[in-house]
Amino acid sequence: MNSDEMRGKWNQLKGSVKQRWAKLTDDDLTAIDGQRDKLIGKIQERYGIAREDAERQLNQWKMPQHHKEATRHEEVTKRKVS
């Protein structure tokens, strides 16, 4: 998921992010506001890990299935319109 997609779906993704990285607070999630770099930084800060490790965790994170399906549907719709 790229930065624009994450930001656009942030309100839908917050619960799943909170489940995956439980040390993130509600205030953290509000401050992150769907920005990938901020999420990586907060994961790094809260878990005391290197930035590369936080980024790897985010890249390996499996977003909820219904978000994947919605993203695929949007991509197909965009291609049909183009």
Q: Report the CATH number at residue 49.
A: 1.10.1470.10
Counting Cβ atoms within 10 Å, is residue 34 exposed (0-12), middle (13-18) or buried (19+)?
Answer: buried
What is the CA 29 to chain-centroid distance, rounded? Answer: 10
Short-list 75, 78, 80, 71, CA closest to 13: 71
Q: For residue 24, what are the domain limits?
A: 3-81
The pLDDT of residue 71: 46
Q: Is the pTM of this model over 0.75?
A: no
The pLDDT of residue 62: 81
Number of domains composing the chain: 1
Helices 36-47 and 51-60: crossing angle, nearest 10°? 120
Over residues 18-75, the pLDDT tens digits come to 999 999 999 999 999 999 999 999 999 999 999 999 999 999 988 765 444 444 545 5
The pLDDT of residue 22: 97
